[in-house]
Amino acid sequence: MDRKTEKIICTEIFNGKAHDGTIFKTTLRILKRILVLADSGYRGIQKVHANSKFPLRHKEDKAQMSDVERKIYNKSIASPRMKNEHIVGRTKRFGIARERYRNRRKRFGLRYNLICGIVNYEKVG
């Protein structure tokens, strides 16, 4: 997603049930200079992409941050991610990403990309 225009740039389709972190590690390649702000479901991607940040858990607080400092840090990571979550929510309104897909698997990628195009068009209009 492009943060400025809030448009979907690319999508990745993966067959079957798979964890988001697994899909990221096996398929996506992001330039090293791009900062990845991820939620705790993507822990471990720093081995693949060093320029990534996650919210801190209380146990991981090595710098002995206070609760207030940790909350401020976690909010600084979560706030920019909300645009991404809103875009994902817009695509889920169509039901293709929300429910089990029961049509031909061959055409899933095409249909999902068409829905992303509609979401991008709605944002412009």
The neighbouring-strand residues paired with 52 are 36
Span 14-24, pLDDT tens digits: 777 777 777 77
CA distance 103 to 77: 37
Mean pLDDT score of the chain: 81
Alpha helices in 28-66, H assignment, sequence order: none
Q: How far is CA 119 from CA 6, 10, 28, 72, in A?
A: 10, 13, 22, 32
Measured distance CA(70)–CA(38) in Å, rounded: 16
Domain ranges within the chain, ordered by starting residue? 20-124
Percent of the chain at pLDDT exceeding 90: 0
What are 54-102's pLDDT values in tens digits? 888 777 656 677 888 888 988 988 888 888 888 888 888 888 777 877 8
pLDDT reported for residue 49:
84
Q: Is this model's pTM higher than 0.95 or not?
A: no
